[in-house]
């Protein structure tokens, strides 16, 4: 089969699995770019049985020469693995050659937060549908995992786009806004997944009627293993990543403090210490 036809069928497969438009688009861009690269290398149409490990490694090296960062090239590698896994299931190839690709080293020092691109890669790699929605929620609200697991149906108001957190850390209540991206995800979740569960908990499995922090962290660990990440990612890291992203996008510390539910601004400052250097550099401009 031609690589072009296989990528088209893979894209239809992603749509049938109701992967997000962003995910499908990202996969399509990489595979289309890979196709163009190979057509140039092989001087013509490309068949699946012509693809080698050297071709994929050459493509990743080509992207490096184009200035792509390691995280972007690792995302391309992960897309190759997903694509070849699909090809194996459809008996279109005999071996998953992408498994022979070595993950690209990013940063030796373990990070305590994820960049937006990394959060997206992580969420894409989560197989558990409910945990995927929960992870998207934490990444877009900064909720503690315990706060998320305790949410009831009444706590999440999609009409006003607000989440009410009752008795968070320190037994303090707070309200967290729902952005447009999360609104679309939660609306779909309530309509297509949550309607099948009889429970007052907002995040609930059909078996237990609730979602545990252990399940969330287990699935996050499984996802990082599939990605061959060495960093240890937990639900707390998603909360930390949320805060770091806000500060990197120039949100005020008091605003971040309010969203996270911190009683003391100094706690917020320690929590997002990676970005305080940027703030120090800014004030030194005066």
35-48 pLDDT, tens per residue?
A: 999 999 999 999 99
Q: Which residues belong to CATH 1.10.150.130 in the chain? A: 3-100
Query: Which residue from 258, 263, 261, 253 is spatially nearest to 283, judged by alpha carbons?
Result: 253
Name the architecture of domain 116-281.
Answer: Orthogonal Bundle (1.10)
Which of 40, 169, 181, 232 is catalytic? The answer is 169
Q: Give catalytic status of residue 239 as yes or no.
A: yes
CB 189 within 8 A of CB 133: yes
Q: State how far the alpha carbon of 49 is from the alpha carbons of 12, 57, 93, 98, 220, in Å.
A: 21, 16, 7, 13, 34
Which of 55, 231, 236, 248 is catalytic? The answer is 236
Residue that wins the pLDDT comparison between 285 and 187: 187
C-alpha 248, offset from chain centre: 18
In angstroms, the CA 132 to CA 240 distance is 17
Which of 63, 128, 239, 240 is catalytic? The answer is 239
Q: Give catalytic status of residue 108 as yes or no.
A: no
Share of the chain above pLDDT 70, in %: 87
Which of 27, 59, 78, 271 is catalytic? The answer is 271
Q: Give catalytic status of residue 169 as yes or no.
A: yes
Model confidence at 104: pLDDT above 90: no
Model confidence at 266: pLDDT above 90: no
Which of 111, 144, 194, 240 is catalytic? The answer is 144
Q: Which residues belong to CATH 1.10.443.10 in the chain? A: 116-281
Radius of gyration of the chain (CA): 21
Indicate the fold that domain 3-100 takes in CATH: DNA polymerase; domain 1 (1.10.150)
Q: Give catalytic status of residue 144 as yes or no.
A: yes
Q: Give catalytic status of residue 5 as yes or no.
A: no
* 159-218 confidence digits (pLDDT tens): 999 999 986 555 578 899 999 999 999 999 999 888 677 889 999 988 888 999 999 999
């Amino acid at each position: 089969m031609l690589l072009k036809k296989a990528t088209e069928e893979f894209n239809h497969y992603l749509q049938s699995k109701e992967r997000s438009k962003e995910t499908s688009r990202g996969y399509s861009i990489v595979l289309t770019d890979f196709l163009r690269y190979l057509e140039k290398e092989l001087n013509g149409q490309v068949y699946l049985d012509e693809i080698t490990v050297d071709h994929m490694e050459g493509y990743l090296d080509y992207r490096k020469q184009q200035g792509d960062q390691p995280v972007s090239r690792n995302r391309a590698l992960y897309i190759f693995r997903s694509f070849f896994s699909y090809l194996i299931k459809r008996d279109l190839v005999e071996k998953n050659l992408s498994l022979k690709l070595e993950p690209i080293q990013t940063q030796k020092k373990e990070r305590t937060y994820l960049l937006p691109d990394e959060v997206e890669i992580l969420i894409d790699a989560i197989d558990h549908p409910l945990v995927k929605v929960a992870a998207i929620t934490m990444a877009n609200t900064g909720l503690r995992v315990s706060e998320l697991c305790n949410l009831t149906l009444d706590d999440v108001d999609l009409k006003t786009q607000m989440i009410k957190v009752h008795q968070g850390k320190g037994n303090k209540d707070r309200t967290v806004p729902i952005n447009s991206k999360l609104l679309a995800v939660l609306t779909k979740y309530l309509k297509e997944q949550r309607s099948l569960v009889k429970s007052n908990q907002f995040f609930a499995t059909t078996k237990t009627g609730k979602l545990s922090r252990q399940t969330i962290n287990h699935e996050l660990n499984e996802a990082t293993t599939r990605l061959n990440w060495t960093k240890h990612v937990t639900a707390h890291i998603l909360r930390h990543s949320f805060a770091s992203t806000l500060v990197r996008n120039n949100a005020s510390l008091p605003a971040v403090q309010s969203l996270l539910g911190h009683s003391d601004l100094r706690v917020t400052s320690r929590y997002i210490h990676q970005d305080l250097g940027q703030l120090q550099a800014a004030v030194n401009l005066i």
